[in-house]
């Protein structure tokens, strides 16, 4: 790996992990506010919603996007043995860093407390919208360049199957490019002119529909780098082979088809959208779970096989032969814990997706319970594990505190399980999300006091506290590794799982065009009616509210 690419990847890992210290701090603050331990609207001059915005944007948008680009660079360079172009890579890095700094400045100065979904009528300073748009465009530039590199590689290797990790990376960024077009329109055409004062208002329903066109596909953009690691690295780390490489290809192409046309499942409660389109997108949401089921069975089979190769026996006993606590394959611990969390994250996702059940859980704390089992589960753990792995390889430095590094994913997992159990239990009892409950529902002096939510939110606090400790330990390992002495030459050497069965090249699973065409077709069928509904049903007005009180203000 060239010095240039090495430095770019290291910056793309360092910057978001540095910001993550702020993101994790605000995670802890969130559980403290919502459990009623404090009854304050702000702490250390940072307001509750400002903190929640910093938490969501840094953890779920900045960290994930930077990581996907850094990991993409590493994957493309490692598998295709060709480095991305210097100019494009530099431009992409600059756009991403400058954009992030602009958005961070807007959030830290309290001018963009609009949460990571930035629904209007919440309004942010233009720097927030423009900064986020620059972060996204920066990631596009990297992607376009990889496409050029890939086309060159393919011309030289027509008869060779594209490596699975490269398929995964290109599928992921194709989903990302298409879905971000909608949010780019929302930001640049609707929100920026409104935030600048050039237009008087925004079509709120249209903005929400465009956001969710992007918003659910976004979660697969977070997930697929982790899936690339599950398929191409985990079996090798376990000491075995990938049970079926073809299953991986099918799973990635299915994500291409079904990741975007399901955003309406976040809007089952929106009055503007018709029932027919809600039901059909609910059904399509079940389709997007299929590639995850394929992954569950393929990876479980690969792990079982790996364990048998290392002397494992029995129907379940083989599990204990897996290298859970081996320091040299610590990446295994990060990935397997993510998978265990995802069993629960996936099941709760299916609850959310069920059109009628969604009424019970929507806007309750069940939802953050669900997504900390996904984005703060397989996604976050894969990012943490791979970031420290790449830093160690690219700097030629050994991991700082390897025993702690091996334990971190287990500690995090225990924390997330307790945290999410608390939030989901509370959610089923109606506990709201995005609410500073310490000011109202969990303040015994307030008329809205609700004792049922004390225990569930305390569980959330206990789990959140454990997550915070695991996060803190990770920062010590990550930054400690940077500060060690170099003992080896910098390199990228990713673990590569071979396929258990020899893989034949089947052309349809080694090309993108027909899949992209089908993707566009399904997308148009799903979204033309949803957007036309948003354009045509805009007369109803929402009741006014005060940010400090969850009940609507009664207009006399």
Annotated catalytic sites, by residue? 216, 220, 370-372, 433-434
Q: Total residues at the site for ligand HAS (CB under 6 A)? A: 35
Partner interacting with residue 293 (select from ligand HAS, ligand HEM, none; CB below 5-8 Å by kind):
ligand HAS
Q: Which is nearer to ligand HAS, 187 or 306 (CB)?
A: 306
Establish if 272 lies at the interface with ligand HAS (CB under 6 A). no
Tokens of 124: 């942010």
Nearest to 497 by CA among 253, 301, 319, 294: 301
Q: Are 403 and 327 in contact (CB under 8 A)?
A: yes
Tell me if 340 contacts ligand HAS by CB under 6 A: yes
- Which is closer to ligand HEM, CB of 455 or CB of 492? 455
Which of 225, 176, 217 has the alpha carbon at shortest distance from 387? 225
Smallest gap from Cβ 542 to ligand HEM, in A, equals 18
| The three-state (H, E, C) secondary structure of 76-105, written as one string | HHHHHCCCCCHHHHHHHHHHHHHHHHHHHH
For position 28 contacting ligand HAS by CB under 6 A, the verdict is no
Binding interface with ligand HEM (CB under 6 A): 24, 27-28, 30-31, 34, 52, 55-56, 59-60, 115-116, 368, 372, 375-376, 380, 433-434, 464, 467-468, 471
* Of 18, 90, 300, 521, the one binding ligand HAS by CB under 6 A: 300
Residue 472: both structure tokens together: 């803190």
* Contacted by 491, from ligand HEM, ligand HAS, none: CB < 5 to 8 Å by type: none
Measured from each CB, the residue nearest to ligand HEM is 27
DSSP letters for 430-491: TPBSS--GGGTTT-TTSTT--TTHHHHHHHHHHHHHHHHHHHHHHHHHHHHHHHSPP-S---
Instruction: State the angle between helix axes of 3-34 and 380-395 in degrees (0 to 180), rounded to the nearest 10.
Output: 150
192 binds, among ligand HEM, ligand HAS, none (CB under 5 to 8 A by kind): none
295 binds ligand HAS (CB under 6 A): yes
Strand partners, 546: 549
Separation between Cα atoms, residue 394 and residue 374, nearest integer Å:
28
- Helix-helix angle 513-536:275-309, to 10 degrees: 140
Please say which residue, 42 or 117, places its beta carbon nearer to ligand HAS.
117
Residue that the structure tokens 């709201």 belong to: 432
Residue 369 CB, nearest approach to ligand HEM (Å): 9
- Chain-centroid distance of CA 452 in Å reads 31
Binding segment for ligand HAS (CB under 6 A), chosen from 295-303, 381-389, 422-430, 437-445, is 295-303
Show the site string, 461-500: x = touches ligand HAS by CB under 6 A, - = not.
----------------------------------------
> CA-CA distances (angstroms) from residue 477 to 17, 125, 360, 483?
12, 36, 41, 10
Contact between residue 296 and residue 338 where contact means Cβ atoms under 8 Å apart: no
- Decide: is 267 part of the binding site for ligand HAS (CB under 6 A): no
Residues 1-22 as b/e (b if ≥16 CB within 10 A, e otherwise) read beeebbebbbebbbbbbebbeb
Whose Cβ is closer to ligand HAS: residue 144's or residue 293's?
Answer: 293
Within the chain, how many helices (H) and strands (E) appear? 18, 2
Say whether residue 346 binds ligand HAS (CB under 6 A).
yes
Length of the chain: 556
Cα angle vertex 287, ends 283, 290, to 5°? Answer: 145
Within 10 angstroms of residue 505's Cβ, the number of other Cβ atoms is: 11
Nearest CB to ligand HEM, comparing residues 28 and 273: 28
- According to the binding rule CB under 6 A, does residue 325 interact with ligand HAS? no
Residues of this chain, 84-143, that bind ligand HAS according to CB under 6 A: 117
Contacted entry of ligand HEM, ligand HAS, none for residue 265, CB cut-off 5 to 8 Å set by kind: ligand HAS
Q: Kindly tell me which of 122 and 301 has the beta carbon lying closer to ligand HEM.
A: 122
When CB distances are held under 5 to 8 angstroms depending on the partner's kind, the choice from ligand HAS, ligand HEM, none that residue 67 binds is none
219 touching ligand HAS, by CB under 6 A: yes
Binding at 413: pick from ligand HEM, ligand HAS, none (beta carbon under 5-8 Å per type): none
Q: Least distance (Å) from ligand HAS to the CB of residue 143?
A: 19
In the complex, which residues of this chain contact ligand HAS (CB under 6 A)? 117, 219, 222-223, 265-266, 285, 288-289, 292-293, 295-296, 299-300, 303, 319, 336, 339-340, 342-343, 346, 349-350, 352-353, 358, 362, 367, 370-371, 374-375, 379
């Amino acid at each position: 790996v060239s010095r240039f690419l090495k430095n770019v990847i290291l910056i793309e890992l360092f910057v978001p992990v540095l910001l993550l210290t702020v993101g994790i701090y605000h995670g802890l603050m969130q559980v403290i506010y919502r459990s009623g331990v404090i009854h304050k609207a702000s702490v250390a001059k940072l307001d509750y919603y400002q903190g929640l915005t910093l938490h969501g944007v840094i953890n779920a948008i900045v960290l994930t996007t930077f990581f996907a680009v850094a990991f993409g660079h590493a994957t493309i360079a490692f598998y295709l043995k060709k480095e991305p172009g210097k100019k494009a890579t530099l431009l992409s890095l600059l756009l991403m860093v400058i954009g992030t700094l602009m958005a961070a400045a807007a959030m830290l100065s309290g001018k963009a407390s609009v949460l990571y979904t930035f629904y209007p009528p919440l309004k942010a300073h233009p720097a927030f919208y423009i900064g986020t748009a620059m972060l996204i465009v920066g990631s596009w530039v990297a992607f376009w360049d990889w496409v050029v590199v890939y086309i060159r590689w393919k011309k030289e290797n027509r008869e060779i199957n594209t490596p699975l990790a490269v398929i995964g990376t290109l599928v992921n960024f194709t989903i990302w490019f298409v879905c971000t077009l909608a949010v780019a329109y929302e930001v640049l055409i609707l929100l920026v002119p409104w935030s600048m004062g050039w237009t008087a208002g925004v079509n709120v329903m249209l903005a929400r529909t465009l956001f969710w066109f992007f918003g659910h596909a976004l979660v697969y953009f977070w997930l697929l780098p982790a899936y690339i690691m599950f398929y191409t690295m985990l079996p090798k780390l376990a000491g075995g082979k990938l049970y079926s490489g073809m299953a991986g290809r099918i799973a990635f192409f299915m994500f291409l088809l079904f990741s975007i046309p399901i955003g309406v499942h976040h809007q089952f409660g929106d009055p503007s959208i018709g029932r027919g389109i809600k039901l059909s997108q609910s059904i399509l949401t079940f389709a997007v779970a299929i590639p995850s089921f394929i992954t569950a069975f393929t990876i479980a089979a690969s792990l079982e096989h790996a364990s048998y190769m290392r002397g494992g026996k029995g129907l379940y006993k083989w599990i204990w032969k897996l290298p859970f606590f081996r320091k040299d394959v610590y990446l295994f611990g990060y990935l397997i814990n993510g998978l265990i969390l995802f069993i629960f994250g996936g099941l709760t996702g299916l609850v959310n997706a069920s059109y009628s059940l969604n009424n019970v859980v929507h806007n309750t704390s069940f939802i953050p319970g669900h997504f900390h089992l996904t984005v703060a589960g397989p996604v976050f753990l894969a990012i943490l594990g791979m970031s420290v792995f790449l830093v160690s390889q690219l700097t030629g430095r050994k991991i700082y505190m390897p025993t702690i590094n091996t334990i971190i994913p287990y500690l995090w997992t225990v924390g997330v399980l307790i945290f999410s159990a608390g939030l989901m239990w509370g959610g089923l009892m109606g506990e709201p999300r995005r609410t500073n409950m310490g000011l109202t529902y969990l303040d015994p002096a307030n008329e809205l006091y609700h004792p049922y939510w004390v225990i569930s939110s305390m569980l959330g606090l206990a789990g959140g506290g454990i997550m915070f400790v695991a996060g803190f330990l990770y920062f010590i390992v990550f930054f400690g590794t940077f500060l060690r002495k170099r003992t080896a030459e910098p390199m990228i050497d990713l673990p590569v799982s071979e396929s258990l069965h020899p893989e034949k090249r089947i052309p349809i699973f080694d090309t993108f065009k027909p899949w992209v065409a089908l993707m566009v077709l399904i997308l148009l069928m799903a979204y033309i009616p949803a957007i036309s509904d948003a354009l045509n049903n805009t007369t109803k007005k929402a009741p006014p509210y005060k940010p400090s009180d969850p009940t609507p203000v009664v207009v006399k």
